[in-house]
Amino acid sequence: MSEPSLFPRDVVEQGPVSVVTGGSGFLGSHLTDRLLKEGHSVIAVDNLVTGNTRNIGHLAGNARYRFVKHDVSQHIFLPGKVDYVWHFASPASPIDYLELPIPTLKVGALGTHNSLGLAKAKGAKYLLASTSECYGDPLIHPQREDYWGNVNPIGPRGCYDEAKRFAEAMTMAYHRYHKMDTKIVRIFNTYGPRMRLRDGRVVPAFIGQALTGRPLTVFGDGRQTRSFCYVSDLIDGIFRLSQSNFHEPVNVGNPHEMTILEFGQHVQRITETKSEIEFRALPQDDPKVRQPDISRAKALLGWEPKVPFAEGIVDTIEYFRGQEDQLAAFAQAER
Ligand code: UDP
């Protein structure tokens, strides 16, 4: 008798099976779409604490897709073959991990352990979604992968940064000790459709404020920098990394750097809003600069971002314009 599976046998025989933790989140859902296009079957595992089923509604009824509501900080049991595990589950915006510090630490630590355990049991390849937060408030600019970072372990961002650093250490231990095929991507600021309007990150925050006539809340003097990557570029870099033979961390992001104040001015101009900029206190340990050095990704994966900021941001604004219920809730909450 063949092993039970979430998919009919003909589906499993057609191509690889991927498990995506955090599969209903912003990145997890875009990754799922890409994997389905590549011929994978996908099992999304998500506890919906920050993810949202609106991101996966278009997949309902797809024979190569299954959704399992589960917290991956608990043991993950899945029947049948698994070829790839992609660990994308985690609160990922500063206000989310400030509100959920313990689940954030648990999913980075226990969730990574459980998802690595699943990959090991199934003989699957593994890819960890890590982060530029591993570099903390960086003293090296732009950030290269061989920089060990400047993280405050006990500050408000420590729960996320240290969980991801632990996750990287755990992934490398499984690679070295268990000889598993693992990959680590360090993801820099990414934007695009399916971000949650109220997740507090600067892209949805400014767009939501501009579209609802609220002031754009620039933290500090707005001279801190970020470099924004459009989601399709990011997913392409990650997919290429999964097909490589490289096991150490690889930065994937867009080196196009700007200040937060400049970013706010772009949003003002493109949305033609009357919203003014309003300055607010800078959160503790907010990194002053951030820009990926992508030499490794370029050399190793032949990858670099293609979508110019001017195009990506217009698409993202258009997406949010269409999210009337989210905009109404945003306007209500900002009052
Ligand atoms: N930021 C801001 N106003 C907001 C939200 C964020 O000025 O309403 C700033 C924040 O202080 C940081 C940058 O924008 O310097 C990017 O913040 P985000 O939360 O998007 O992510 P981070 O890159 O800090 O993880």
148-166 tens-digit pLDDT: 999 999 999 999 999 999 9
**Is the alpha carbon torsion for 283, 284, 289, 294 positive or negative?**
negative
Alpha-helical regions (H) of 142-285: 158-178, 202-211, 231-242, 260-271
What ligand 1 atom has the least distance to the C-alpha of 94? 19
Q: What is the pLDDT of residue 1?
A: 54
Give the list of residues 6+ apart from residue 91 with CB closer than 8 angstroms, or none: 49, 50, 97, 99, 100, 103, 104, 107, 160
Q: What is the pLDDT of residue 9?
A: 87
d(CA 155, CA 149): 15
What ligand 1 atom has the least distance to the C-alpha of 133? 25
Q: Is 70 exceeded by the pLDDT of residue 320?
A: yes
What are the pLDDT digits (tens) for 202-247?
999 999 999 999 999 999 999 999 999 999 999 999 999 999 999 9
Q: Which of 84, 97, 126, 160 is catalytic?
A: 160
DSSP string, 205-246: HHHHHHHTTPPEEEETTS--EEE-EEHHHHHHHHHHHHTSS-
What ligand 1 atom has the least distance to the C-alpha of 218? 7
Give the up-direction half-sphere exposure of residue 110: CA atoms within 13 A in the CB hemisphere. 12
d(CA 333, CA 212): 11
Q: Is 70 exceeded by the pLDDT of residue 335?
A: no
d(CA 51, CA 23): 8
Which residues does a 6 A CB cutoff place in the pocket of ligand 1? Answer: 93-94, 189, 200-202, 205, 217-219, 224, 226, 260, 283, 286
Residue located nearest, by CA, to atom 5 of ligand 1: 202
Q: Is 160 in the active site?
A: yes
Best residue for ligand 1 mutational test, from 152, 260, 288 (most atoms within 8 Å of Cβ): 260
Averaged pLDDT score across all residues of the chain: 96
Ligand 1 centre to CA of 162 (Å) is 19
- Taken in order of first residue, the domains within the chain and their CATH numbers are 17-191+229-252 (3.40.50.720)
Three-state secondary-structure class, residue 89: coil
